[in-house]
Amino acid sequence: MASTVTFIEYLSSETTTATPTQLDLVSTVAANASRSTYPVSVGNYSQTKAFKIRFDGTFTNVSQVKLYKSDGAYLTGETIAYGVSSSYHVPTGGAYEDSVADTAIPTSLPATANVTIGGDLGGTITGSGATDFVYLQSSVTIQAISATANSKTLTVTWTEVA
């Protein structure tokens, strides 16, 4: 048997969660919200998505968790930033840049882990457990055209010992 993976999205508090089927970066704090209903206006930031990657199933350990944007073109002036933290903070957006999601998300598989477990890039999950919080936020500069952002594919890889 192997691990099963789910995303646990944290909404307006550390105790309010959802299991999303998509992580659209929009102008409201909600799971599975539509980009066309809640667009990010030009010159602003999306509301931060705060989530953990949860591993369940039968495995000895999981380590070396890597997250990157593997597909989907940016609009002119659009960027996606990410960051990780062992502590939760309320999502920010609109005119406010997130204090953790401050690094451009990689667009190819990173050479080393970029998602922490227990505050450590070299951390491991034994049995069931989750990574630390991952924060995502998009921004749309005033150079952007007025259009709905394209879909992006985020890929997560990890090392698993059965």
- Cβ-based neighbours of 73, under 8 Å, separated by 6 or more: 150
Quote the pLDDT of residue 141.
84
Locate the domains of the chain by residue range. 3-161
**Which tokens belong to 88?**
């939760």
Indicate the pLDDT class of residue 142, thresholds 50, 70 and 90. confident
Q: Are 133 and 88 contacting, i.e. CB atoms less than 8 angstroms apart?
A: yes
pLDDT of residue 36: 86
Provide the pLDDT for residue 59: 95
Q: What is the pLDDT of residues 72-107, one digit of tens each?
A: 999 888 899 999 999 999 999 999 999 999 999 999
Tokens coding 71: 């597909």
Q: Which CATH class, in words, describes the domain spanning 3-161?
A: mainly beta
| Distances from the Cα of 47 to the Cα of 32, 38, 55, 153, angstroms | 13, 10, 25, 18
Q: Tell me if the pTM is above 0.85.
A: yes
Mean pLDDT of 141-145: 71
pLDDT tens across 20-71, in order? 999 999 999 999 999 889 988 888 999 999 999 999 999 999 999 999 999 9
Residue 146 has what pLDDT? Answer: 60
Rounded to an integer, the average pLDDT of 139-161 is: 84
- Choose among 62, 53, 65, 67: nearest CA to 160: 62
The string of DSSP letters for 127-162 reads: SSEE--EEEEEEEE-TTS-SSPPPP-EEEEEEEEE-
pLDDT: which is higher, 119 or 140: 119
Q: What is the mean pLDDT of residues 144-150?
A: 66
Residue 122 above 90 pLDDT? yes
